[in-house]
Amino acid sequence: MSHQSDLISEDILAYLEQHERKELLRFITCGSVDDGKSTLIGRLLFDSKMLYEDQLAQLESESITHGTVGGKFDPALVTDGLKAEREQGITIDVAYRYFSTAKRKFIIADTPGHEQYTRNMATGASTADLAVILIDARQGVLTQTKRHSFIVSLLGIRHVVVTVNKMDLVGFSEARFDEICNDYRSFASRLDLPDVHFIPISALNGDNVVDPSPHMPWYRGSTLMNFLESVYIGSDRNLEDFRFPVQFVSRPNLDFRGFCGTIGSGIIRVGDEVMILPSKRTTKVKRIVTYDGDLEEAFALQSVTLVLEDEVDCSRGDMIVRPGNVPKISQQFDATIVWMASEGLVPGKTYLFKQTALSAIGQIDSLRYRVDVNTLHRSPAPDLQLNEIGRCAVTINQPMFFDSYRRNKATGSFIIIDRITNITVGAGMITDRDVAKGAKVAAWESIEPTVVGESDGVTPVTSAERAARYGQQPATILLTGLSGCGKSEIAIALERRLFEQGRAVAVIDGEQIRRGINQDLGYSVEDRSENLRRSAYLARLLNDQGLLCLAAFVAPSQSIRQRVSDVVGTDRFITVYVKASEQVRRKRDSKGLYAKAEQGLLPDFTAVLTNYEVPDNADLVLDTGELSYDECVDKLIALLVERKVIPARD
């Protein structure tokens, strides 16, 4: 049932037209077992009057038989439709519900909480714009909460609402709510979740779901429904890179030949020049045909038929793009894979890979590492088992047209199918990093890992003498983060503070290095690697001379940061992740780098391509959207004292 509106009785056609123009928000509910996901959705639909009277009557009757609240109305039964779900009081499969309010249309995916059904959760999250992560106020942040948050981060869901449920069972305690929020922030700071909000609720009783709760006067934020209606998702769509995978060639008669499909990203207009991949033949768009008539322009997620001016060779599996903005074309790529089959992933085994309308035979060449979702640590592994996540190198038997998943979900995702059983066994997200080439990697390997004190004997001055003279232990502090987050500003402010304390300190900034010894390097994956290799060696030399080195670099790759650590010496290497929201970063972009990148002038600009790998083992996380630079420096000084790099001051 849709929301109530006077237009329904006054002018049904006007109402339908208004309803058609509403923005659609897709969101999921996820969390651990019994956190109240189904109850929350049921309460959301009930309190917003989205259920028919016959549905309510049936639910009231079934609440007596299958309910878990002592015969009272059980909102969870609204979505738990399977017999096994009602008998066990759990969610097994993904349940979708559709409703609308005066402001928006919604599609809800109620996903399972059990670890056994994590693959179902990943399926429901793959098309979502927002995630509602529930946490039981009695239990706090659990393993499955972390697992689902990690998957939400992997799938590029930008907006997250953490709803602390069952607040009635902890006496609506503000202290308990704050404790859970702090625990979650501590874990989520290592994930790529740019927009996180917290709401205390009681789904069973309806507190802060649709209406504000009288039991929590200390909470002055938005209710869940109000947030869902107002959260801005307009900038989440990729409208820059036109990608049109061809699904079908329509040839109803001799006078018409059109190419059918769904626009993966970008905008197309009549008269625009386009290129056909893989032939690279160029032509122009003559018509944009839909069931309701021709359009002058179409955009992402619209299903259309393109009629081209010239007769070109184009068939299912090909892709139509703009000549000046093409995806990567390769038979090899790196991907993060969520394994969904009871039979483990076997490197070297032949699978079917399906991406957009393209199907190709291929194999997993190697499993680079497996991710522990509890600690986010990466470890070597021979295979992936059910619900495990790992980074893999993939090779297929024909060229694929793709972007990184972070930039374009449509062309950056794929599924893996077992060729014998025809069962989907895995889902993959293509990373931006190319498969490693030999030359640049070999340059890294030519440097042996540093051993502290190894420079003794090179000069008559020993490292111990330098430490005694300067009153400090040499160390390199890497400030890593996206452009505009404030890395260089923090490095300069920290240098001033340390200098005033009498410390011997030097700053090496990524931009300054590129204007000097690294001016021959660009921004490709290989050049970024070489840029950091040279800078790492410079930092090592400064440390060998007893100095503190403050290094401000984007350093987007986790594997390259690890190599820097090996070069400098793990005992004297400190990683600091500096972050800020996209809005804050763009506001600080005085050089217009974001705008240039969006225009295609900086094709490898990290912040726009979003190919930055958040450090999973950062020694310190600084959010410059919430902290001033002085506060960041205070935290850094405290860390250096804690690590005994510098002595504490009285």
Q: Does the model's pTM come out above 0.75?
A: no
Domain count of the chain?
4
Domain boundary among 235, 254, 275: 235
Residue 164: the pLDDT is 94
Q: How many CB atoms lie within 10 A of CB 57?
A: 10
Does pLDDT of 437 surpass 50? no
Please tell me whether residues 280 and 377 are part of one structural domain: no
Domain boundary among 271, 295, 321: 321
Give the pLDDT of residue 645. Answer: 92
Return the closest-CA partner of residue 576 out of 623, 612, 538.
Answer: 623
Evaluate whether residue 163 is within a structural domain: yes
Q: Residue 37 has what pLDDT?
A: 77
Instruction: Over range 312-335, report the average pLDDT.
Output: 90
| 486 shares a domain with 633 | yes
Strands (E), 271-386: 273-277, 281-290, 293-295, 297-299, 303-308, 319-321, 328-339, 350-355, 358-371, 378-379
Q: Tell me, what CATH number does 334's domain have? A: 2.40.30.10
Q: Does residue 261 sit in the same domain as residue 372? A: no
Q: Which residue has the higher pLDDT, 236 or 300?
A: 300
| Domain co-membership, 349 together with 206 | no
One-letter identity of residue 550: L
| Cα 225 from Cα 217, distance rounded (Å) | 18
Same domain, 61 and 109: yes
- For the segment 46-51, the average pLDDT, to the nearest whole number, is 68
Neighbour-count burial of 103, counting CB atoms closer than 10 A to its CB (0-12 exposed, 13-18 middle, 19+ buried): middle
> What pLDDT is attached to residue 198?
95
Burial (CB count within 10 angstroms: exposed 0-12, middle 13-18, buried 19+), residue 379: exposed
Residue 74 has pLDDT above 50, yes or no: yes
Q: What is the pLDDT of residues 338-378, one digit of tens each?
A: 898 889 998 888 999 999 989 999 999 888 888 877 677 77
First vs last C-alpha separation in the chain: 68
Q: Please check whether residues 311 and 344 belong to one and the same domain.
A: no
Give the E-state strand segments of 82-124 in sequence order. 95-100, 104-110
The domain in which residue 279 lies consists of 243-321
- Looking at the chain, the whole-number percentage of residues with pLDDT higher than 90 is 35
Q: Are residues 505 and 638 in the same domain?
A: yes
The residue-averaged pLDDT of 129-151 equals: 88
Amino acid letter for position 549: C
* Residues 426 and 414: beta-carbon distance below 8 Å: no
Residue 649 domain-assigned? no
**527 confidence band (pLDDT: 50, 70, 90):** confident
Residue 436, in any domain of the structure: no
Determine what percent of the chain is predicted with pLDDT higher than 70: 79
Confidence of residue 84 (pLDDT cuts 50, 70, 90): very low
Residue 2 forms part of a structural domain: no
The predicted structure's pLDDT at residue 533: 86
Whether the CB-CB separation of 274 and 283 falls below 8 Å is answered with yes
Q: What pLDDT sits at residue 609?
A: 42
Does 262 map to a domain?
yes
In whole angstroms, give the CA distance from residue 185 to residue 458: 46
pLDDT at residue 116, rounded to an integer: 56
pLDDT band at 178 (very low <50, low <70, confident <90, very high): very high
453: which residues sit within 8 A by CB, 6+ positions away? 462, 463, 464
Q: How many CB atoms lie within 10 A of CB 368?
A: 16
CATH of the domain at 553: 3.40.50.300
Mean pLDDT, all residues of the chain = 81
Answer whether residue 648 is part of any domain: no
**Is 165 a residue whose pLDDT tops 50?**
yes
Average the pLDDT over 415-444 and give the result: 71
Question: Are both 60 and 160 inside the same structural domain?
Answer: yes
More confident residue, 494 or 86: 494
Whether 397 and 534 share a structural domain:
no
In degrees, rounded to 5, the angle at the alpha carbon of residue 372 between the alpha carbons of residues 367 and 374 is: 165
381 vs 352 pLDDT, higher one: 352
Residue 436 banded pLDDT, cuts 50, 70, 90 = very low
Integer Cα distance of 261 and 303 in angstroms: 6
Residue 438 lies in a domain: no
* DSSP 8-state assignment for residue 202: B
The residue from 301, 321, 341 where one domain ends is 321
Structure tokens at 327: 């995806």
Q: Decide if 583 is inside a domain.
A: yes
User: Using 50, 70 and 90 to split pLDDT, how confident is the model at 442?
Assistant: very low
In a shared domain, residues 597 and 457 = yes
Q: Which pair of tokens denotes residue 387?
A: 């619900």
> Which range has the top average pLDDT, 62-76, 84-98, 516-530, 609-623?
609-623
181 and 256 co-located in one domain: no
Rounded to whole angstroms, the Cα distance separating 475 from 199 reads 41
205 and 352 share one domain: no
- Three-class SS of residue 134? strand
